[in-house]
Amino acid sequence: MPINYEQLMALKNLGQKYAYTDREVMLYAYGIGMGADPMDENELAFVNEGTFTPRPLKVVPTFASVAAWGSSPGEMNLNRVMVVDGERDITFYKPLPSAAKITADSTVLDVFDKGKDKGAVIRHQTVLKDENGDKLATLVASRFARGDGGFGGPSEGQPEPHKVPSRAPDKIVDITTRPDQALVYRLCGDRNPLHSDPEFARKAGFPRPILHGMCTYGITCRGVLQTYADYDPSAFKQHVARFSSPVYPGETVTMELWKDGNIISFEAKVKARGVTVIKSGKTVLG
């Protein structure tokens, strides 16, 4: 059934309760590829708590994207086969603890109609809070519902994307994904068969299962961690990325990064196919 604009805009779900432990924190870090080199002490700090020399487990900032997996403003009644991630923008207020009980408040921000044959864009927000009610992070998600356009909603007013510099990148890093990476990452919560079921992927228009957009998002966080953040999660104040093309598990993601003060701009490509997979990326460090 077509989107009901007024009903969708009114969706709200406050006080959703969640909890996670260091197991989920380590699984997420491994799911975005950290620990591929089992002797890399910088990345081991995110996937191993240390034994002979105890050290606190670090939490990848973008773990916030799965810390309250399943939280949402409510049922949107979209054509699930045709829905893909459009953008993610997370603002961080303080480092996430390695284990916590949290609450999530979710609301719909905007719904844009791109046209009957062009789909719809839904932006919704989730605020994560700790047990004291203090904000941990605010997540703004943009969904591109390719099969749900033409409902008569507004078409203008979407936020302008971040513009990356026109000069040559200041740094370039290659991050390799594993052929089975989507099968690992899905254990963080996203069981969408688009990432694991070849038949489902073909019906959705892809030759084989694709990597989760949010896994690619986490990979870009890794790229900033290892280049400009000195593997310090507390340095992250915001991390934004727009998804422009899927990554297939096993491909190498090449990140191009530009540093301007505390702003890190980035894009990501799969050179083997000549495609840009992440556009308009921005990290604010502080």
Q: Give the tens place of pLDDT for each residue, 217-254.
A: 999 999 999 999 999 999 999 999 999 999 999 999 99
The SS3 of residue 201 is helix
| Per-residue model confidence (pLDDT) at position 145 | 82
| Per-residue model confidence (pLDDT) at position 168 | 98
Q: Which residues are catalytic?
A: 190, 195
Q: Which fold has domain 171-285?
A: Thiol Ester Dehydrase; Chain A (3.10.129)
Superfamily of domain 1-159: Hotdog Thioesterase (3.10.129.10)
User: Which residues lie below 8 Å from residue 183, measured CB to CB, with a gap of 6+?
Assistant: 196, 249
| Per-residue model confidence (pLDDT) at position 81 | 67
Residues of the chain with pLDDT under 70: 1, 81
Cβ atoms 191, 275 nearer than 8 A: no
How far is the CA of 105 from the CAs of 16, 72, 271, in angstroms?
Answer: 6, 8, 39
User: Which residues lie below 8 Å from residue 129, measured CB to CB, with a gap of 6+?
Assistant: 102, 103, 104, 105, 135, 136
| Per-residue model confidence (pLDDT) at position 163 | 97
User: What residues does each domain of the chain span?
Assistant: 1-159, 171-285
- pLDDT tens track for 61-103: 999 999 999 999 998 878 776 777 789 999 999 999 999 999 9
Matching fold, domains 1-159 and 171-285: yes
